[in-house]
Each structure stands twice: as C-alpha cells, then as structure tokens.
C-alpha cells in the first residue's frame, strides 16, 4: 500500500441547473468520483469570473474544472456561450504564460449525465495527478 501517494486538489465549479444536478445524479446512482474534487455551486457557469479560477489556484488547487449546461441548454438562455468564449481566451492565455494546459478544463455536463460527471472527474483527477503539484500558480503564503 502506498502511503504518500499524491492526491491533487481539484476545484470544480458546477452550474446549479445542470452540472450540480448531474453530480447529484452521480451520487444517487452510486457512481464514484474522487473525494478530492471540491464542488463549488454557481448559479450559472457564466458566473465564474477569471479571477475565481486564479484564486482557486492561489489557495492551493492543483486543477480547476468548470462544468456547465451544454451549449444551447443554459437556464439563462446564453450564459454558457459567454463562458465558452471567456474560458477559451483565459485558458489560452494561461498556456501562453507557461501554465500546463492540463490543469484547466471546461466540460458540459447535463442533469441527466451522472455517469459523464463521474467519468470526467475521475479522468481529470488522474490527469492532474500525473502533472504533480501546482507550482507555477501557487502562493506560498497560502500553503499550510
């Protein structure tokens, strides 16, 4: 048994209407997803300011995933379309600054996709675990 296996901290922003319900469904269906995924519920994926993503990294996240309704299914008609543009630009910029692009992701998960939620989280966790600790966007003052 490995004792000191690295467990990445993952922050998942989930929209209230689709992805959060999707996570609920995953739970109801007894589908596993890693316990190091911390879900933050937001009213809409579009609520997520680029600052939130950076703050999550600052406070010790090793990976940040943003889940929202599928394009076209937004509860507020168009929120996730804006998210898509914003995050495409933000993640592209992070990559440009040399931050590993595997640490960030946007995934569309509907309320009926409990299985997709669980699979996505498992896969993302493995992906981030392979990268190791987040060193490039860390804030030493926030380390414990």
Partner 1 sequence: MQTVTRNQLVEKAKELLNNGTVTRVLGIKKGEFSYDLTPAVFTSAEELEKEFEFNGFAAANFSKYLVKLADGEGKILVFLKPCDSYSFNQLLTEHRFNRENVYAVGIECDGFADYKKIEEEFNDGIKSVEFNGEKIEVTTLYDGKKELAFADYMLERCKNCKTKKIAAFDELLTENSDETKNTRFEEVEKLEAMTPDERYAFWRNELSRCIRCNACRDVCPACTCEKCVFNNPDSGVENKAIQNSFEENMFHIIRAFHVAGRCTDCGECSRVCPQHIPLHLLNRKFIKDINSFYGEYQAGAEVGNRAPLVNYTKEDIEPKDAVGRGSEE
Q: Residue numbers of the site for partner 1 (CB under 8 A)?
A: 50-51, 54, 57-58, 71-72, 78, 81-82, 84-101, 104-106, 136-141
- In 21-120, the DSSP E strands lie at 37-42, 63-68, 104-108
User: Which of residues 25 and 68 has its CB atom nearest to partner 1 in the complex?
Assistant: 68
Strands 10-15 and 37-42: parallel
Q: Minimum CB separation from partner 1 for residue 2, in Å?
A: 28
Q: Which is nearer to partner 1, 8 or 25 (CB)?
A: 8
Query: Helix-strand-coil percent breakdown of the chain, rounded to 5?
Result: 45, 15, 40
Rg from Cα positions in the chain: 15
Q: In angstroms, give the least distance from the CB of 71 to partner 1.
A: 7
CB of 31 to partner 1, least distance (A): 23
């Amino acid at each position: 048994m490995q004792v000191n296996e690295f467990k990445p901290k993952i922050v998942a922003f989930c929209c209230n209407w689709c992805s959060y319900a999707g996570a609920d469904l995953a739970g109801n269906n007894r589908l596993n997803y890693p316990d190091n995924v911390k879900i933050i519920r937001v009213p809409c994926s579009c609520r997520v300011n680029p600052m939130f993503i950076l703050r999550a990294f600052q406070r010790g996240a090793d990976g940040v995933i943003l889940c929202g309704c599928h394009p076209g299914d937004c509860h507020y008609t168009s929120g996730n379309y804006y998210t898509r543009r914003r995050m495409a630009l933000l993640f592209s910029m992070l990559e440009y600054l040399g931050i590993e692009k595997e640490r960030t992701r946007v995934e569309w998960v509907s309320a009926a996709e409990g299985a997709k939620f669980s699979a996505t989280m498992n896969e993302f966790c493995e992906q981030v675990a392979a990268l190791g600790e987040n060193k490039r966007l860390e804030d030493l003052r926030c380390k414990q």
